[in-house]
A and B are shown apart, each in its own frame.
Chain A
Amino acid sequence: MTRRSRRLLALPVAILAGFCLWQASRPAWAQSLVADLSSHLIAITTGFTGTDVVLFGAVDGDGDVAVVVQGPEGEVTVRRKGRVAGIWMNVEDVAFARVPAYYNVAVTAPLDGVVPPTVLQRHEIGLDYVRLLPEKAKLTPEKLAEFRAALIRNKQRAGLYTTEVGEVSFLGQRLFRTRIYFPANVATGTYTASVFLIRDGDVVSAQTTPLLVSKIGFSANVFEFAQRNSVFYAILGIMLAVTSGWLAGIVFRKS
């Protein structure tokens, strides 16, 4: 490598180093939001009936806080029933890719009209702005809106999407907290709790915290066993049935 080319390389390296230094120093003055969860793990045990998780944090000044909790994504098919020869059966379906299994939103104050829709859209704040994209693009907007609304409605009925925007309450000037409910039918997987600080109609700071929902203990063992050793699980299930049937036959023999 010649001296000339080495000097040429020095310039970008210096710029990069400067940028890194600036990045490293930035949180010192831009740490306008900190938040955490009361628990990072929701354990689904045999007695699990749903649980609350508290999200709390602090901001460095005024502004609104929005909290969005989303669950693991998966493909969901929405089906519409129609009447065929007097019987209601599924006639049309639309598959949505990457649908969050769970969605919950809470804010300090209503954001409609205050924050432009493009901002809400970018951060998926509010049920109207959740990214629900169909697998196939060739759908009329009306049809898409119809199936999207149906998807949200069904999720709400299952208690997995919020029916109304929750409340983030301020304790004094700086501290805020909100309560997030997870029902008993919550899916296992990795969730994210995103907190946004909104000032003058824009998100000025954001933080994302992971949250794990996992089966623990007996129910986890049974589930694992059924998935990993499905043949042994199947045999065990049948043996259990045969034994209890046999026992019943012997115990009640006299009758």
Chain B
Amino acid sequence: MQIYLPIAELSVNALLILMLGGGVGFLSGLFGVGGGFLMTPLLIFIGVPPAVAVGTQANQLVGASVSGVLAHWRRNNVDVKLGSVMLIGGAVGTGLGVWLFGLLQKLGHIDLVISLSYVLFLGTVSSLMLTESVRAIVKGRGAPVRSKLHHHTWLHGLPFKMRFPRSRLYISALLPAFIGFVGGVLVAIMGIGGGFLLVPAMIYILGMPTALVAGTSLFQIIFTTGLAAFLQAVGNQTVDIVLALLLLVGGVIGAQFGTRAGAKLRGEQARALLALMVLAVAVKLAVDLIIRPEDIYSITLPVIR
């Protein structure tokens, strides 16, 4: 069934989009990530203009994060105070990211920056995750080694200290705000929630309890993706509601099956699989950057004056 996307100005097979949404939703449910890092490149691959892919994906992620946060909220696994501080940084980052996106688009480097940031961030995070989870699998079911509960580094010497009772932390507010800021920039430029980067940062830099990390990062992602979707829709008119709706329907259903399947996987196995998948995306994009493109010339969409 062909359907014309009014903003992307493209005719696509509705079933294909539903299946893409379902497949990515399944994986995101399985691993507890947003799945934006898979969906945005896939959308660009089927011919959706990068700007529309990023804008629409941000909108879609709002829905995915809401449904994710609900589950964590019921278990009381959301630190609203810390999430709100992250959000302040996130809002600034998103605003900057949307502006940067427009600027890079004008200069003709947006595709390169999207690809490079994917390779850099996805490559680094997935390699770290893969080595860590493989080590855990090899070691068997041994508990993760923790040398010290509380490292004292220069990070703790930063000003504006704040108490976060839910996470039992007493840290500088600048830290979560900065992590949120980085996440916000990524949302706007890469069309991803940034969970794969936020989660390790919150565990290793902030030292948050692992149980609270997923819910709190999702809580923050709802608002950064929402803001990104809003700014992209108002500033660049690049949110395609029809495409977003198709992705949402597919994604929401896929995620539920993914969550059930995920319950059967052991933590380190799931992490290793996720890391492999993310690494595959990063390698694919890296190879595309290095090998000679089929046509070294490209054209922009016409600008009517």
Residue numbers of A with Cβ under 8 A of B are: 44-50, 72-83, 86-90, 93, 99, 101, 147, 150-151, 153-155, 157, 184-185, 187, 189, 215, 218-220, 222-223, 226-227, 230-231, 233-238, 240-250, 252, 255
Q: Is A78 in contact with B297, judged by CB distance below 8 angstroms?
A: yes
When distances are taken between beta carbons in the complex, the residues of chain B under 8 Å from A73 are: 302, 304
- B43 contacts chain A at the CB level, 8 A cutoff: no
Q: Which of B255-299 contact A (CB under 8 A)?
A: 255-256, 259-260, 289-293, 295-299
| Nearest CB of B to A88, in Å | 6
Residue of B nearest to A46 (CB): B4
Classify the secondary structure of B's interface with A: helix
Inter-chain contact total with CB atoms closer than 8 Å: 192
Q: Is A245 in contact with B67, judged by CB distance below 8 angstroms?
A: yes
- B51 contacts chain A at the CB level, 8 A cutoff: no
Contact code string B2-36 (vs A, CB < 8 Å = 1, else 0): 11111101110000000000000000000000000
Number of B residues near A (Cβ < 8 Å) is 60
When distances are taken between beta carbons in the complex, the residues of chain B under 8 Å from A45 are: 4
Q: Provide the bound-state CA to CA distance between A214 and B19, in Å.
A: 30
From the candidates A46, A48, A79, name the one contacting B108 in the complex (CB within 8 A). A79
Q: Provide the bound-state CA to CA distance between A226 and B147, in Å.
A: 54
From the candidates B4, B233, B234, B239, name the one contacting A48 in the complex (CB within 8 A). B4
Q: Is B67 in contact with A248, judged by CB distance below 8 angstroms?
A: yes
Residue of B nearest to A48 (CB): B4
Residue of B nearest to A248 (CB): B252
Given contacts A46-B3, A219-B4, A241-B248, contact A78 B11 (CB under 8 A): no
Contact sample, A vs B, 28 pairs, CB 8 Å cutoff: A44-B4, A46-B4, A47-B2, A47-B3, A49-B4, A50-B11, A73-B304, A77-B108, A83-B292, A87-B290, A88-B292, A90-B108, A153-B295, A154-B299, A184-B11, A185-B10, A189-B304, A223-B7, A230-B233, A240-B63, A240-B244, A244-B67, A245-B63, A246-B66, A248-B256, A249-B70, A255-B259, A255-B260
When distances are taken between beta carbons in the complex, the residues of chain A under 8 Å from B60 are: 241
Q: Is B6 in contact with A249, judged by CB distance below 8 angstroms?
A: no
Q: Is A88 in contact with B289, judged by CB distance below 8 angstroms?
A: yes
Q: Is B249 in contact with A237, judged by CB distance below 8 angstroms?
A: no
Other 6 A-B pairs with CB < 8 A, given A101-B302, A219-B242, A222-B241: A75-B305, A223-B7, A231-B234, A234-B239, A245-B62, A245-B68
